């Protein structure tokens, strides 16, 4: 470690703090950086939480900087750790767990907290804010058990939360004190159009009402309003605003007001301590939007790196909202008064609205609804206090020779300065985008995102990035540029598989080289997929590439937020023996396992195993792995069936154990779960499994494509069979057909909807010859594999060395 480096401690692992660190890393490598984050996650895109809530994205999808990024840049990261004080006397940052880290400079980036209304009942169970991943997880859980939700607050965050809860199947009412939604960003016309559109999408509204009390005993049961009326609700989300998180600054004696008081260079009242983001107060203003936070971060980064920069003078704020096709934008002044000249255009047929406000013929604000393609251009013009002209009017309002089409787009991009910021969330300029297009031959927005970071946060700049792409490529631009399995290639899953077979490609590196991958080493999205496709195509010759596996698969255990692992031994059909239970107990005591949990798949999960103890734990258990970490057959859940139950018509335990023993070890595109019920009472919950089997007096009924996760789906009935042999053959054929046609990480619930139930039934149930061929191929694949843990125990290398071969790039998957 370079002892000459200055020690920089960043308190806060969110977008403001880490974007500032990214800017610093562009300017210098002379800092030894330590980052503290209160949440147990790497840096993620808080703006995209509403997409996680509605199920269109996962937590992994919104990670901005995975653990590999921190490691690559030599950054020490402490997740799940809250800083309580900056000790100026000892020049140390002190955490709640007692950790003390010396500093030369500190950046406070603690963001904000949700404001909870101080009304009776606000502390009841079922009342939360909406600010982080934990809030999002609570909302996902609530949607499984409760039906009526109320969102207090009709602002940006409240509407996003409401739409997500509606998507999860809840009856949602937005309760808003004012008569207009988003009254701080929209005028009455745009607000009314937004309300009408959201009502069409299933959201209900209670406008102009004040909540005075939350009703119920321990759990909330309703809202009481000032007029005495009551709204029934068993889940309440408060989205009435945010307040700067100034806790650590106040505890350290730093000047605070509403926020942490900073000067134009983000310096606080304590020497060598800076602050950036929503926790700040600059010239009496606290900003709660992303773009100003980035502008602050750029200035702070230059200042701390001794690079000349002008001070921060404040931001012209803008707001963008996108919920299932509803596009809204506002910037600057948006409520017209006597001093304004109003330029407005409303189209009720296309549900679009545009308003520009002038003061002394200077553009001072704008509102857009339905079509926000001019948002970036308007924001620039208003920020520069541009004077309105006839030509500019024609361009903006789509009239005359300057109106509409590609000409308008080219004109807008053509007049942009090279150093103009296109992506305010990540500080990407027009020149940076033009350079990567011309120098690296990029042709898609996804490629530009992977290379520069533009569009990776809120996505609001995507239209402008597309315009720049079209402007640079000219006739070579394809508006619907083909997207591949990741940003490294334009090839689809089917095209890659065909090329592997046709060209006889045998390794991931060979595939990436021959098929012209844009990133020679690939990425954490395509490498595991290619490794899977090779294993599926060549089960007898492909050598599994451990470096392309996700960390859990490489470690044969699931990594936890504290760095320990969980170990899940196999229990066939959920059945075990007293001898195996004793081994589990003995190992748990010997290796100080923190907890032993019964899983949803009827197994025991040993939680809190240290990394260095994993080989010995598996060896002393002497049980097969339950593959709780793998893209393979996880469990076959069973009821007690005809062996014990008076209602059971079939031996579900016996069949479950048989299927689990037969098909374990095999890789699938995604995790795979099964269940076997001995009768239609469905105690093993077959309706939410990839393959669900229900016994009846005449044999078995087979269901496919169920899912009990974020995107819940009831399984479809595939067919009925009379014999155990038919059951095994149909199940094997379904598995192999899924293995051969499923996209990597695509669950069967998505696969069935993409391929279609009838084509699957035709290929497997109705086409006997094809079914038998599929079964032959899966039998051949099964002959090539064995429990990988046995290979680990017999490996000539030391077990410790094996476990240290960890590729951080796959850590977050």
Query: Is residue 475 very low, low, confident or very high in pLDDT (cuts 50, 70, 90)?
Result: confident
Question: Regarding predicted confidence, which is higher, 603 or 217?
Answer: 217
User: What are 42's strand-pairing partners?
Assistant: none
Instruction: Give, in degrees to the nearest 5, the angle at Cα 247 between 245 and 253.
Output: 130
Which helix (DSSP H) or strand (DSSP E) does residue 182 occupy?
none
| pLDDT of 810 | 36
Averaged over 518-542, what is the pLDDT? 87
Walk across the sheet containing 105-108 and list its strands: 76-78, 31-36, 6-11, 105-108, 273-275
| pLDDT of 789 | 41
Distance CA 92, CA 105 (A): 10
Q: Tokens 């392309």 belong to which residue?
A: 548
Distance CA 810, CA 813 (A): 6
Residue 522 has pLDDT above 60, yes or no: yes
Among 589, 325, 317, 294, residue whose Cα is nearest residue 453: 294
Do the domains 127-240 and 6-111+244-304 match in fold?
yes
Within 8 A by CB and 6+ apart from 86, the residues are: 11, 92, 93, 94, 103, 106, 108, 248, 249, 252, 254, 270, 273
Distance CA 62, CA 58 (A): 7
Instruction: Give, in degrees to the nearest 5, the angle at Cα 160 between 754 and 130.
Output: 115
Among 115, 160, 111, residue whose Cα is nearest residue 139: 160
Whether 683 has a binding-site annotation, put simply, is yes
**The domain 6-111+244-304: what is its CATH number?**
3.50.50.60
Q: From the CB of residue 597, how many other CB atoms can be counted at a distance below 10 Å?
A: 13
Among 357, 367, 363, residue whose Cα is nearest residue 382: 363
Residue 792 has pLDDT above 50, yes or no: no
Query: Is residue 2 very low, low, confident or very high in pLDDT (cuts 50, 70, 90)?
Result: low
φ, ψ dihedrals at 354, nearest 5° = -140, 130
| pLDDT of 681 | 85
| pLDDT of 698 | 82
Q: From the CB of residue 272, how many other CB atoms can be counted at a distance below 10 Å?
A: 16
Distance CA 149, CA 162 (A): 8
Averaged over 427-453, what is the pLDDT? 83
Structure tokens at 280: 């700040």
Q: From the CB of residue 350, how many other CB atoms can be counted at a distance below 10 Å?
A: 9
Structure tokens at 245: 């998180």
Q: What percentage of the chain has pLDDT greater than the value 70?
A: 90
| pLDDT of 410 | 41
> How does pLDDT run across 746-776, given as a tens digit for each residue?
999 999 999 999 999 999 999 999 999 999 9
Q: C-alpha dihedral over 209, 214, 215, 216, to 10 degrees? A: 150
Residue 404 has pLDDT above 70, yes or no: no
Q: Tokens 């009342």 belong to which residue?
A: 127
Q: Which of 500-514, 614-628, 797-811 has the weakest average pLDDT?
A: 797-811
Distance CA 812, CA 582 (A): 34
Whether 423 has a binding-site annotation, put simply, is no
CA 772 remoteness from chain centre: 40
User: What are 219's strand-pairing partners?
Assistant: 125
> How does pLDDT run across 314-326, given as a tens digit for each residue?
887 777 665 555 7
Surface-to-core class of residue 454, CB atoms within 10 Å of its CB (0-12 exposed, 13-18 middle, 19+ buried):
buried
Provide the residue count of the chain: 813
DSSP state, residue 118: -
Which helix (DSSP H) or strand (DSSP E) does residue 635 occupy?
strand 633-638
Domain locations in the chain? 6-111+244-304, 127-240, 493-548, 630-786
Whether 401 has a binding-site annotation, put simply, is no
Q: What percentage of the chain has pLDDT greater than the value 90?
A: 47
The CATH T-level fold of domain 630-786 is: Sulfite Reductase Hemoprotein; domain 1 (3.30.413)
Within 8 A by CB and 6+ apart from 439, the residues are: none
> How does pLDDT run across 212-245, given as a tens digit for each residue?
999 999 999 999 999 999 999 999 999 998 899 9
> How does pLDDT run across 134-184, given as a tens digit for each residue?
999 899 899 889 999 999 999 888 998 998 898 888 999 999 999 999 998
| pLDDT of 485 | 83
Query: Is residue 808 very low, low, confident or very high in pLDDT (cuts 50, 70, 90)?
Result: very low
φ, ψ dihedrals at 336, nearest 5° = -80, 140
Per the prediction, the chain carries an average pLDDT of 86
> How does pLDDT run across 262-280, given as a tens digit for each residue?
999 999 999 999 999 999 9
> How does pLDDT run across 559-596, given as a tens digit for each residue?
776 668 888 888 887 888 888 899 889 988 988 888 88
Query: Is residue 675 very low, low, confident or very high in pLDDT (cuts 50, 70, 90)?
Result: very high
φ, ψ dihedrals at 322, nearest 5° = -140, 110
Whether 639 has a binding-site annotation, put simply, is yes
Give the three-state DSSP class for 36: strand
> How does pLDDT run across 93-103, given as a tens digit for each residue?
999 999 999 99
CB 210 within 8 A of CB 127: no
Averaged over 388-414, what is the pLDDT? 63
**The domain 127-240: what is its CATH number?**
3.50.50.60
Within 8 A by CB and 6+ apart from 360, the residues are: none
679 to each of 206, 249, 386, 646, 689, how far by Cα in Å?
47, 62, 74, 10, 16
Q: Check residue 277 and give left, alpha or beta (phi > 0: left; psi -120 to 50: alpha).
A: left
| pLDDT of 177 | 94
| pLDDT of 521 | 79
Distance CA 655, CA 468 (A): 60
Residue 409 has pLDDT above 70, yes or no: no
Distance CA 638, CA 632 (A): 18
| pLDDT of 291 | 75
Within 8 A by CB and 6+ apart from 359, the residues are: 333, 339, 340, 341
CB 323 within 8 A of CB 50: yes
Residue 369 has pLDDT above 60, yes or no: yes
Averaged over 24-44, what is the pLDDT? 94
Q: C-alpha dihedral over 594, 599, 603, 604, to 10 degrees? A: 10
| pLDDT of 401 | 42
| pLDDT of 412 | 60
Instruction: Give, in degrees to the nearest 5, the angle at Cα 601 between 596 and 603.
Output: 35
């Amino acid at each position: 470690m370079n002892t000459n480096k200055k020690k920089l401690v960043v308190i806060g692992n969110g977008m403001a703090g880490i974007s500032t660190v990214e800017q610093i890393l562009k300017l210098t490598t002379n800092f030894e950086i330590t980052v503290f984050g209160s949440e147990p996650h790497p840096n993620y895109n808080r703006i995209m939480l509403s997409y996680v809530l509605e199920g269109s994205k996962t937590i992994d999808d919104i990670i901005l900087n995975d653990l590999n990024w921190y490691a690559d840049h030599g950054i020490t990261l402490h997740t799940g750790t809250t800083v309580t004080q900056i000790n100026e006397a000892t020049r140390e940052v002190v955490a709640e767990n007692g950790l003390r880290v010396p500093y030369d400079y500190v950046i406070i980036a603690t963001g904000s907290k949700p404001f909870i209304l101080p009304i009776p009942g606000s502390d009841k169970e079922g009342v939360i804010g909406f600010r982080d991943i934990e809030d999002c997880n609570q909302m996902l859980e609530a949607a499984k058990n409760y039906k009526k939700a109320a969102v207090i607050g009709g602002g940006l965050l409240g509407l996003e939360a409401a739409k997500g809860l509606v998507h999860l199947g809840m009856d949602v009412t937005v309760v808003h004190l004012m008569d207009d939604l988003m009254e701080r960003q929209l005028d009455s016309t745009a607000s009314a159009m937004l309300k009408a559109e959201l009502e069409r999408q299933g959201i209900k509204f209670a406008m102009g009402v004040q909540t005075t009390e939350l009703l119920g005993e321990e759990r909330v049961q309703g809202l009481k309003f000032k007029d005495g009326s009551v709204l029934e609700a068993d889940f309440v989300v408060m989205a009435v605003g945010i307040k700067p998180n100034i806790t650590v600054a106040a505890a350290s004696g730093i000047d605070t007001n509403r926020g942490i008081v900073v000067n134009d260079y983000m310096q606080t009242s304590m020497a060598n301590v800076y602050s950036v983001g929503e926790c700040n107060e600059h010239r009496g203003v606290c900003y709660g939007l992303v773009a100003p936070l980035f502008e602050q971060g750029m200035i702070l980064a230059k200042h701390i790196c001794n690079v000349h920069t002008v001070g921060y003078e404040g931001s012209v704020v803008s707001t963008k909202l996108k919920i299932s096709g509803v596009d809204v934008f506002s910037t600057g002044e948006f409520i017209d008064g006597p001093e304004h000249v109003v330029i407005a255009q409303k189209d009720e047929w296309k549900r679009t609205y545009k308003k520009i406000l002038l003061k002394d013929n200077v553009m001072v604000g704008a509102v857009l609804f339905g079509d926000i393609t001019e948002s970036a251009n308007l924001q620039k013009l208003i920020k520069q206090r541009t004077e309105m002209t006839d030509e500019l009017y024609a361009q903006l309002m789509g009239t005359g020779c300057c109106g509409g089409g590609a000409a308008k787009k080219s004109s807008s991009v053509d007049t942009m300065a090279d150093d103009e910021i296109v992506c305010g969330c990540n500080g990407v300029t027009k020149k940076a985008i033009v350079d990567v297009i011309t120098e690296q031959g990029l042709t898609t927005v996804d490629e530009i995102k992977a290379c520069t970071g533009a569009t990776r946060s809120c996505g609001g700049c995507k239209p402008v990035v597309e315009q720049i792409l079209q402007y640079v490529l000219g006739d070579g631009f394809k508006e619907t540029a083909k997207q591949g399995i990741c940003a490294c290639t334009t090839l689809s899953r089917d095209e890659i598989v065909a090329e592997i077979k046709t060209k006889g490609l045998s390794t991931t590196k060979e595939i990436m080289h021959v098929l012209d991958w844009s990133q020679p080493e690939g990425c954490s999205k395509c490498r595991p997929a290619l490794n899977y496709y090779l294993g599926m195509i060549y089960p007898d010759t492909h050598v599994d590439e451990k470096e392309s596996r996700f960390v859990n698969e490489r470690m044969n255990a699931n990594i936890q937020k504290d760095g320990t692992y969980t170990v899940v031994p196999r229990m066939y059909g959920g059945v075990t023996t007293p001898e195996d239970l004793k081994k589990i107990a003995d190992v748990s005591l010997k290796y100080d396992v923190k907890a032993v949990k019964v899983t949803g798949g009827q197994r025991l999960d040993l939680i809190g195993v240290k990394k260095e103890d994993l080989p010995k734990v598996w060896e002393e258990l002497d049980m097969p792995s339950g593959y709780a970490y793998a893209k393979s057959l996880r469990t076959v859940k069973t009821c007690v069936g005809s062996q014990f139950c008076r209602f059971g018509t079939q031996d579900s335990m016996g069949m479950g154990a048989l299927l689990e023993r037969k098909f374990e070890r095999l890789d699938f595109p995604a995790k795979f779960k099964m269940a076997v019920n001995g009768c239609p009472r469905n105690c093993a919950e077959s309706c939410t499994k990839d393959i669900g089997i229900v016994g009846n007096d005449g044999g078995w009924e087979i269901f496919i494509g169920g899912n009990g996760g974020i995107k819940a789906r009831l399984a479809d009935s595939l067919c009925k069979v009379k014999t155990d042999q038919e059951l095994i053959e149909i199940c094997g054929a379904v598995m192999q057909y899924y293995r051969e046609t499923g996209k990597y990480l695509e669950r069967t619930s998505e696969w069935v909807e993409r391929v279609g139930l009838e084509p699957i039934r035709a290929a497997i149930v109705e086409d006997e010859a094809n079914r038998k061929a599929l079964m032959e191929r899966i039998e051949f694949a099964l002959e090539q594999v064995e429990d990988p843990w046995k290979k680990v125990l017999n490996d000539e290398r030391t077990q410790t060395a094996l476990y240290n071969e960890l590729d951080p790039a796959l850590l977050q998957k």
